[in-house]
């Protein structure tokens, strides 16, 4: 292995460690918010009881609206059947919404996966981060990320689609070019290497205004 190759490998490994740490921090933050809200549940009920006892309907209405807003920020909007997928998808959905990017998810994982949670984290985290980053240059009314996951016979199927500002992207050496920093390229390389190691299939398709990544990973 050449010095250049070892240097690239070290850069990819360092980037990936940072990325995984970020994913877990996002997940931990989401669950801390959920635990905090549940811990405060009794206090919220007691406050509402006081308002009700005093007949203060306006205060009850205002308090419920504030609680609804707070709960919406930490609600588990996706339940796939896989704990790691739920954690990553929900944390990334929360991140996308905070940046005014709508997300539509249809995800079901009805079986125990053979692939490791680490590999699943890397794939989903990178795909979602790339989709969020590509969506940001668009006007808010044109942003959208679509995620689909399900089993196709004995394979896990993953599909991410996002709209882009760049139009149809060009390939160089069978890879789509990116205008982002080096980290983005490392993320694509990591996805490719995991799918290859797991004997899976990966397809990236760029049509005018949309970019789709499809992955199939055997689970037998």
**CATH number of this structure's domain 3-39+76-218, picked from the four choices 1.10.3720.10, 3.30.565.10, 3.40.30.10, 3.10.129.10:** 3.30.565.10
Q: What is the pLDDT of residue 82?
A: 86
**pLDDT at residue 95, rounded to an integer:** 84
pTM to 2 decimal places? 0.66
CA distances from 42 to 37, 45, 55, 64 (A): 10, 5, 20, 14
Hey, which residues does 203 pair with through a beta bridge? 214
Q: What is the mean pLDDT of residues 194-215?
A: 92
**Structure confidence by residue, pLDDT tens digits, 49-91:** 888 989 888 888 888 888 777 666 555 568 888 888 888 888 8
Pairing of strands 145-152, 155-163: antiparallel
Alpha-carbon dihedral 27, 31, 33, 36, rounded to 10 degrees: -160
| Stronger pLDDT, 195 or 37, i.e. the higher one | 195
- Decide if pLDDT at 106 tops 90: yes
Q: What is the mean pLDDT of residues 165-174?
A: 53
Please write the tens of the pLDDT for every residue from 136-163.
Answer: 999 999 999 999 999 999 999 999 999 9
Q: Please report the pLDDT score of residue 214 as a whole number.
A: 96
Q: Which of 16-30, 76-90, 123-137, 166-180 has the highest mean pLDDT?
A: 123-137
Contacts of 60 (CB under 8 A, 6+ apart): 48, 51, 52
**pLDDT band at residue 167 under the 50/70/90 scheme:** low
C-alpha dihedral over 211, 125, 200, 154, to 10 degrees? -100
- % of the chain beyond a pLDDT of 90: 32
Confidence band for 5, pLDDT divided at 50, 70 and 90: low
pLDDT digits (tens, 9 = 90+) for 19-36: 666 656 666 666 666 666
């Amino acid at each position: 292995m050449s010095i250049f190759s070892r240097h690239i490998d070290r850069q990819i490994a360092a980037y990936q460690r940072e990325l995984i740490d970020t994913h877990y921090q996002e997940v931990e933050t989401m669950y801390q918010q959920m635990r905090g809200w549940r811990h405060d549940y009794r206090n919220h009920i007691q406050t509402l009881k006081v308002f009700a006892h005093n007949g203060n309907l306006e205060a009850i209405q205002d308090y419920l609206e504030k609680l609804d807003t707070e709960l919406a920020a930490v609600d588990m909007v996706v339940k796939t059947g896989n704990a790691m997928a739920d954690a990553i998808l929900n944390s990334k959905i929360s991140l996308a919404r905070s940046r005014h990017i709508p997300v539509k998810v249809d995800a079901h994982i009805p079986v125990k996966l053979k692939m490791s949670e680490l590999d699943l984290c890397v794939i989903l985290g990178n795909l979602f981060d790339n989709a969020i980053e590509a969506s940001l240059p668009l006007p808010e009314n044109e942003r959208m990320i679509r995620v689909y996951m399900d089993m196709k016979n004995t394979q896990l199927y993953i599909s991410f689609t996002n709209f882009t500002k760049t139009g149809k992207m060009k390939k160089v050496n069978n890879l789509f070019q990116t205008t982002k920093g080096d980290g983005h390229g490392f993320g694509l390389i990591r996805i490719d290497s995991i799918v290859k190691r797991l004997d899976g299939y990966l397809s990236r398709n760029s049509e005018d205004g949309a970019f789709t990544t499809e992955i199939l990973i055997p689970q037998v």
